[in-house]
């Protein structure tokens, strides 16, 4: 069973904030989900073949081609930080990502 503290930890990891009533609602809902998962874990699937798709269809793939959508100028106009060709975004991966 999840406690209120468990729900608060999950919320913090998810960068979500909940009211007291929401915390209790999510605690109850998450516990129901975990109970259902335990029930599913008890099902014997020894002789069951894996199912990859419920339909007997093959994926219809198309050729992967690059094309110009003609909206580069509009996209750059809406960007707060850009140069002549690209949108400039802050570095989020690697050393000194905060700078």
Distance (Å, whole) CA 85 – CA 99: 23
Question: What average pLDDT does the chain have?
Answer: 89
Q: How confident is the model at residue 46 (pLDDT cuts 50, 70, 90)?
A: very high
What is the predicted pLDDT for the residue at 98?
Answer: 59
Residue corresponding to tokens 């209790």: 24
Distance (Å, whole) CA 1 – CA 27: 9
Mean pLDDT of 26-37: 96
* Contact predicate 7/26, CB 8 Å: yes
What is the predicted pLDDT for the residue at 17?
Answer: 93
* Contact predicate 30/2, CB 8 Å: yes
User: Residue 66: is its pLDDT beyond 80?
Assistant: yes
What is the predicted pLDDT for the residue at 96?
Answer: 65
């Amino acid at each position: 069973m999840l406690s209120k503290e468990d729900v608060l930890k999950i919320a913090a990891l998810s960068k979500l904030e909940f009211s007291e009533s929401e915390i209790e609602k999510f605690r109850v809902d998450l516990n129901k989900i975990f109970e259902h998962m335990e029930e599913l874990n008890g099902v014997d699937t020894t002789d069951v073949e894996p199912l990859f798709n419920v339909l007997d269809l093959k994926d219809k793939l198309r050729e992967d081609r690059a094309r110009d959508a003609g909206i580069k100028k509009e996209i750059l106009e809406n960007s707060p930080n850009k140069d002549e060709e690209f949108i400039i975004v802050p570095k989020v991966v690697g050393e000194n990502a905060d700078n």
